Structure 1
Amino acid sequence: MQKLTPLFHNRIGMPKNETITFEKLAEVLEKTAQNIPFENLTIIQNKTRKITKENLFNKIVERNEGGLCYELNPLFYFYLIENGFNAFLTDGVVYNHAAEEYHQLGRTHVTVLMKHEGQTYLIDTGFGGNLPLKPVPLSGETVSSYNGEFRIKKVNHEIGDYCLEMKLRHKDSDWKIGYSFNSKKSIEDTADLNEIQTIITEHPKSSFNKHPLITRLTNNGNITLTDTTFIQWADGILTKETIEHMKFKELAKQHFGL
């Protein structure tokens, strides 16, 4: 397999041979969020493939598709490792705000933790429109980006020992829970990722196996497309358009390259 970095950089619009330092990661995360969509089309089309480095490379880098957390974050993990960072994958449980409880699907969110100069950071490229766009330290310090404010809170329950909290710009007035994760548990085997994919694909309570969903960040907000609506957030202003099936294909190609 070819080296991931130059082709990944080409995919997100960065110079192919640019050296990536810790300080450069915020730019990489921002460009990743704006160019690689969070989407579930392979599930809806019944075209899922086994999660391997090669298959993720083929899907996201070569075919210019997007993916869900268990695809986007593992690919970014491979990118970090290739660039000399000390990273590992872990899983967590997303908080369901409508039900005011953690999702019953279990540990189906995959994210990245990275150690740098004695500090551990959370890095996430696969949480829909809720992306920090910067490494978030587990020390509790608040990180700000154009997408909002983010912090990690120490917790003590069976789901994990930390949770990501966020206050999205133009959307949240108070802090809200994103997900909890276990900083001491790493995913060592892609078999675990395939198990998560199976749950997301087949479980009746999964929110990703019923209707198509595509979303990505823009430079001043985000856009989200489903089979019935096209939603745009731009500088805090919400625009919502009801669409028909044929319009979905047109918008998916126009705004997401899919």
Structure 2
Amino acid sequence: MDESQITRYLDRFGATRPAEPDAGSLRALQLAHLEAVPFENLSIHLGEPISLKPGALFDKIVDSRRGGFCYELNGLFAELLTALGYQVTMLAARVFHGSTPGPLFDHMALRVDLDEPWLVDVGFGDFADEPLRLDERGEQSDGGGVFQIVPAPSGSGDLDILHRGEQGYRLTARPYELADFVPTCWWQTTSTQSHFTRSPVCSMRTAQGRTTISGRKLIHTVHGERTERVLSEIELLPAYLDHFGIALDRPPAAGA
């Protein structure tokens, strides 16, 4: 990522370039990103190709002012953090569905090593506002709730990430490259068994909570209070623009 791209990406989510790669700057970058770049799977339901090549991710997220899902959001954020001087490792995770973890590469998160290792994730939707200490086994709290990182029962060295007391995902320690996630990304975007193909969703952190469009349902969570209503066909495209800055020329398909 060159200097021009760094500047344009930081402008995309309203962040200033940190003077040095430290924990305080990392926190500010993550929260600013979460409040400006939505988690969304709209490309799947618009028939748009999804590429994990850095140039394609930059064109989509920065130039086209779109969002994405984990491989896209964390993939490009890793490029930015690396360009800013952070030591970044891509990690694979298994997302829990009930008490059962899904397949490896189901999710991608980031490890950032400073004076201690941090878990950074801007691609899991409703999750931590700030980086989490990977070596801390007690509870960690921020605006996103209460989190805890505990060893997986298997003794494999994997870590279970708990959110509000429930299992979120199981994180592996082995480093990966972005290309390693391409096959699972393809499966997530094409299989009828993938929850991403079932319905379009677009969601973003706000200063008061979260705003989501799921299908045609507009959901606002403000200081823990949730309200929702179904959008009419004529309201849908303006809602994407008003709440997420996403300009669409047609509505996403309903899903598989």
State the TM-score, normalized to the length of structure 1.
0.88
Cα 1:141/1:80, change in 2 over 3 Å: farther
Letter in 2 for 1:187: Y
Name 2:250's counterpart in structure 1.
Answer: none
**For 2:158, what is the secondary structure of its paired residue?**
strand
Name 1:38's counterpart in structure 2.
Answer: 39
Give the whole-Å Cα distance in 1 for the aligned partners of 2:135 and 2:218.
35
Aligned counterparts, 1:200-215, within 5 A:
200-215=188-203
Judge which range, 66-75 or 49-58, deviates more: 49-58
Name 1:171's counterpart in structure 2.
Answer: none
The answer to whether the Cα contact below 8 Å between 2:52 and 2:75 also exists between their aligned partners in 1 is no
Matched, 1:220 2:205: no
Give the whole-Å Cα distance in 2 for the aligned partners of 1:45 and 1:55.
17
User: Deviation above 6 Å: which 4+ runs of structure 1?
Assistant: none
Matched, 1:162 2:152: no
Judge which range, 32-41 or 127-136, deviates more: 127-136
Q: Between Structure 1 and Structure 2, how many residues are aligned?
A: 244
Name 1:130's counterpart in structure 2.
Answer: 127
Aligned counterparts, 1:51-90, within 5 A:
51-90=52-91
Aligned counterparts, 1:94-113, within 5 A:
94-97=95-98, 100-103=99-102, 105-113=103-111
Letter in 2 for 1:220: Q
The answer to whether the Cα contact below 8 Å between 1:226 and 1:248 also exists between their aligned partners in 2 is no
Aligned counterparts, 1:136-155, within 5 A:
136-155=133-152
Cα 1:158/1:49, change in 2 over 3 Å: farther
Give the whole-Å Cα distance in 2 for the aligned partners of 1:154 and 1:209.
32
Letter in 1 for 2:71: Y
Judge which range, 41-50 or 157-166, deviates more: 157-166
Q: Name structure 1 gaps, 5 residues minimum.
A: 168-174
Q: Name structure 2 gaps, 5 residues minimum.
A: 247-256
The percentage of counterpart residues that share the same residue type is 23
RMSD: 1.8
Deviation of 1:106 after TM superposition, in Å, equals 4.3
Name 1:170's counterpart in structure 2.
Answer: none
